[in-house]
Each structure stands twice: as structure tokens, then as C-alpha cells.
A and B are shown apart, each in its own frame.
Chain A
Amino acid sequence: MSRVAFTTNLQRHVACPPCTVAGATVQESLEAAFALYPKLRGYVLDEHGALRFHMAVFVDGTPIADRRGLSDPVSAASEIYVMQALSGG
């Protein structure tokens, strides 16, 4: 089970405390998190399931490579961090 944490700036719009989810990829892990927090999906992903332009996802400290398909692998011990990209600041 990997752990997913969200930027505190998201908490102002959607309550989404860190959660522990199962998933072999970022996509599967985020889907599991969205099952807990349905409103969160539209804040992180666009209508086609791609990561929003000004959002960033890190897996164990490394930004994901596949921002569109979210296919980056996740291990059971992974820490996934969903945050804002400074480009949108």
C-alpha cells in the first residue's frame, strides 16, 4: 500500500488528508484516492484524465514522466505527493 499526500493548498477546496491506497501505477493509486475523495479528481486531472498543466506528481521524490497516462510505476512502499507546479504561481 503506497501513501498519497496532497498539497495543503488543495485542502482549502477539497478535504483530502493523506491516504493509503493500493495500486501498481500512479493512475491506479490516484483512482483509489479519488474513490475516497470524488471531488478531488477535477482539481488534479483534466477532463481527459491527464495531469493538469500546473500540477505535479512526485513518486518517491521523482516527478512522474507520463503526465497524460499516469503510467509511472508505484511500489507498495512508495510515497506519492500531489502538489502544484510553480509555473502556475
Chain B
Amino acid sequence: MSDQLLVSTRKGLFSAHRTARGVWDLDSVSFLGDNVSLAMQDPRDGAWYAALDHGHFGAKLHRSKDRGATWEEIGVPAYPTPPEGHVEKDFLGREIPWRLMRFWCLTPGLPSQPGLLWAGTLPGGLFWSEDSGATWTMVEALWNMPERRKWAGGGADVPGIHSVCVDPRDGNRVVVAVSSGGVWHTQDCGKTWTAHTKGMRADYAPPELVEAPESQDPHRMVQCPAAPNIWWIQHHNGIFRSTDDAMTWTEIKDVKPSVFGFPVVVHPKDPDTAWFVPAIKDERRIPVEGRVVVNRTRDGGRTFETLGRGLPQSWAYDLVYRHALDLDATGERLAFGSTTGSVWISENAGDDWITLAEHLPPVHAVLFV
């Protein structure tokens, strides 16, 4: 059971904890005024990581070995130098710079791989570190793959890797999801890559590209730790599930109030239980009818419950980004934060929600630690 939550926001990394009275309170902030795009806790040594996006001064990475009391700046990935005169453009003809713009996810390796970290970045980069983030190496096989040139901006102006899942059975097997650019597998720790998106569709693409792997825009991808053959994706076009280890995908339709959204989390022990935060898709991107709700399925997507007890049910326009919903290790405590600075916590798997904050800066990510 986790009693502490980290909230990564546009203006700092906030911490909240559960008091002895059972109330959640904000208690501290690190990097106040700076854009914190995400945080990560390494379960192997307890270290915290915070990724900053300074805008003027670039993306930085900081690590704390004392749960946020002090931080040290560590290394950041470097993109390769492009060939002289080379200007890369996406398939729509827009320039893609070969330089680090932002961290979009940080994922630890397995317990058997101490010090190994993976970083998904904008634009479209995957890096790994063998020394807890001091130095980084680009996974060049993925960067140099011709199909990468077909990736496009989805959640940002340039394509990016937002989900990195390391197989709990085999640390050499890694699956990444790209917005927008599909789902890519490696079995050999990054040397070779294959797309597996059969079953997905991209209605926003031209008809002949609807099923193309590179057209797919997974917003967030998760793998059930206890049942690693079961995967969930909140896709731009809806909700998809895989029961064959992310090889093929089944669309889950007719989910009310909407199949659109950004985040998904899966119960750590029950692969049939997952949570989503629905929104009106595309041009609006606001809660349906101004009601903030969470959708929960407990039967693998056959049915959903729409949970709103304790959440604003009128005149609310909170959008929840892909990393801004988290679940603790018990599967009972959930938290999510919004673009309008609200954060809510549930201690009973989403049945009831309490408001932690209403006036924080825009929330990029939340994390139980």
C-alpha cells in the first residue's frame, strides 16, 4: 500500500502523503517553477528520478537517493550527429531535429539488471543506461530503422516513445509504443525490431494506411506484471487488448461515455481489471458533458463501470494526460491529475474519490512511491 504520491507538473514536482488520520496532504515541492515532465522510482534501489524540460536550457535528468530531500543532476541522452547536410523530415515534410527535446518515459530494467534504465524520448528516441543514468546509449537499430521515418507527431509536434515495457520473464524482450508510430518489439535487447499492430485501426489515416503499423497512435500501453501475456492500449481510436503477448490486438468497442482518452493502468495481479479516463476525442479533448469520470473494467473489457463518486460532475474540463493516472502495487489506490491542476485519489479501486488538489500547475504525470 503506497502512502506517498509524486505529482509532476508544469511548475514543479509536488509530493503528497497520507497522514495518520487517513487524509492526503501535499507536503513538499522540488524544482518549484521548473517544468517536470515525469518522475520514476527505481524499485531495485529506491532512487527517484525526475525529468525536467527547461525549455530554454533543454531536458535534464535528476536523481534523489533520499526520497526527494536532495537531488543531483545526472546525464542525459545525446542524439547522434546527423550526416553533413542531412535534414530529416517526417512523412508530412516537417523537419525532425536530431536532438533531445524531452523525456517521455523512464523505465527500470529487471531486478537481475541493476543499473539498467530505459528512456523514451522526443523525438522518437530510445536510449538505455547501464549506470543508473550517468551515461546513455541510443538504441540505434530503432533510430536507423527505415520505418521510423513514417512515424509522426501525435501527442507532440514530433513522434515520441511514451511506453517502454520490459518483459518480467526476459529483460532482453522490450516492447515500446510510439505516438504516433505503432508498437515495436525487440527480443534481443534492441538489436532488431518488429511491429505488431494487427487488429488496430487508425481511422484518422488515409484509407490505405488505416491498418499500417506506423499509422497507429497508441496513447499508452501497459502489460500486466502477473500475467505478462495480457496487454492493454488506450489508442487514439479506442481501447485495444492483447491476450497473446502483444502480437495481435482486439478492439473493445461501445465503451461509454467515450473510447477516447490517454491513460490506462492495469491491475498488477488481475489482467482483466483496467482503468481509463475517457474524454471527447480529437478537436475538443474535454470530459464528456463536463463530467470527470474513470472507466473500470473487471472482466477484460466486456463491461465497464463509469465511476464518478467524488469527482466533479458538471462544468469540469479536466484533461488527463497519458502518464497522469497511476495505481499502487495493491491495485486498490489510484490517483490521477489533470491539465487544470486537479488531483484525485481513490483508496477503493476507483469506487470513491477524494480531491487532493485543485490549483496545482498543469499535471503531466502522477506516481505512487
Q: Which residues of A contact B (CB under 8 A)?
A: 9-10, 13, 39, 42-44, 46-48, 52, 54-55, 84-85, 88
Contact = CB atoms under 8 A, between A and B. Distances in A.
Contacts of A52: 56-58
Given A47-B78, A48-B98, A84-B56, 17 more contacts: A10-B57, A39-B73, A42-B58, A42-B60, A43-B54, A44-B57, A46-B100, A47-B79, A47-B99, A48-B81, A52-B56, A52-B57, A52-B58, A54-B55, A55-B56, A55-B57, A85-B56
> What 5 pairs across the A-B complex have the smallest Cβ distances?
A47-B78, A43-B57, A54-B56, A88-B56, A46-B99
B325 interface: no
A52 B58 CA distance: 8
14 contacts: A9-B56, A13-B54, A39-B73, A42-B60, A42-B76, A47-B100, A52-B56, A52-B57, A54-B55, A54-B56, A55-B56, A55-B57, A84-B56, A88-B55
Nearest to A52: B58
Contacts of B54: 13, 43
Interface string B32-53: 0000000000000000000000
Interface string B69-93: 0000100101101000000000000
A48 B99 contact: yes
Contacts of A10: 57
A55 B98 CA distance: 18
Chain B interface mostly: loop
Nearest to B76: A42
B58 A43 contact: yes
A69 to B, nearest CB: 12
Contacts of A55: 56-57
A11 B81 CA distance: 29
A46 B58 contact: yes
Contacts of B81: 48
Contacts of A85: 56
A29 to B, nearest CB: 19
B79 to A, nearest CB: 6
Contacts of B79: 47-48
A53 to B, nearest CB: 9
Interface in B153-201: none
A42 to B, nearest CB: 6
Contacts of B55: 54, 88
B249 to A, nearest CB: 36
B78 to A, nearest CB: 4
Contacts of A9: 56
A86 B282 CA distance: 31
A85 B56 CA distance: 8
Contacts of A13: 54, 57, 60
Most chain B CB within a 10 A radius of its CB, from A9, A43, A47, A52: A47
Contacts of A46: 58, 99-100
A82 to B, nearest CB: 11
A34 to B, nearest CB: 14
Contacts of A42: 57-58, 60, 76
Nearest to B57: A43
A40 to B, nearest CB: 10
Contacts of A48: 79, 81, 98-99
A61 B81 CA distance: 31
A10 B60 CA distance: 13
B267 to A, nearest CB: 40
A42 B136 CA distance: 15
